[in-house]
């Protein structure tokens, strides 16, 4: 089977749909009692609106202005580096989705530690300081928010 595509088409289409979905989810996720023009929903709406606009531009650019690649999905393609990169990226996305679910149930510290270990193990990091650096950043963020700023992390 032959497929014609480019990365701009895929990323632009995906993020246009996701940002459109997020735009409609903002009122249910960011509750506010304020009736002024600038409230707790303002910054998320600006960010999501910008994401939608630029993703749509990227989609149009990918559809009409950037040449498309044609690949044939067969057993030879599965042995290429390009296919392995796609699989690695897909697994990384699944790790991020797992992080979101862990974050919801366990909070910031345990879910971030699990994600750090999962990503580093998946990409084959063996040196101890590759683990120490992100774990110390987690500790610093926790210390800054909870102790210095008196903001409780989820």
In which element (H, E) is residue 130 found?
A: helix 128-142
pLDDT surpasses 80 at 4: no
Same domain, 105 and 50: no
Q: Which of 73, 101, 130 is the last residue of a domain?
A: 73
What CA–CA distance (Å, rounded) separates 47 from 50? 5
Q: How many domains does the chain have?
A: 2
Q: Which of 35, 54, 73 is the last residue of a domain?
A: 73
Same domain, 82 and 141: yes
Q: What is the pLDDT of residue 58?
A: 94
Cβ-defined contacts of 32-41 (< 8 Å, 24+):
none
Same domain, 79 and 69: no
Q: What is the pLDDT of residue 149?
A: 80
2 — pLDDT class (breaks 50, 70, 90): confident
* Paired residues of 70 in beta bridges: 4
Q: What is the pLDDT of residue 154?
A: 63
Range of the domain at 10: 1-73
Same domain, 16 and 58: yes
Same domain, 54 and 112: no
Residue 78's Cα: distance from chain center in Å? 25
14-43 average pLDDT score: 86
Give this prediction's pTM.
0.61
């Amino acid at each position: 089977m032959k497929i014609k595509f480019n990365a701009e088409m895929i990323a632009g289409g995906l993020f246009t749909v996701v940002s459109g979905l997020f735009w409609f989810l903002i009122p249910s996720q960011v509750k506010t009692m304020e009736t002024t023009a600038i409230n707790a929903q303002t910054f998320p709406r600006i960010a999501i609106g910008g994401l939608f606009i630029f993703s749509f531009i990227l989609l149009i650019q990918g559809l009409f202005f950037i040449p498309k690649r044609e690949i044939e999905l067969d057993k030879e393609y599965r042995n290429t580096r390009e296919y392995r990169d796609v699989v690695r990226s897909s697994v990384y996305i699944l790790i991020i989705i797992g992080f979101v679910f862990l974050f919801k149930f366990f909070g910031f510290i345990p879910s971030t530690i699990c994600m750090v270990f999962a990503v580093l193990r998946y990409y084959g990091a063996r040196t101890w300081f590759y683990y120490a650096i992100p774990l110390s950043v987690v500790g610093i963020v926790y210390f800054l928010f909870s102790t210095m700023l008196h903001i409780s992390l989820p």
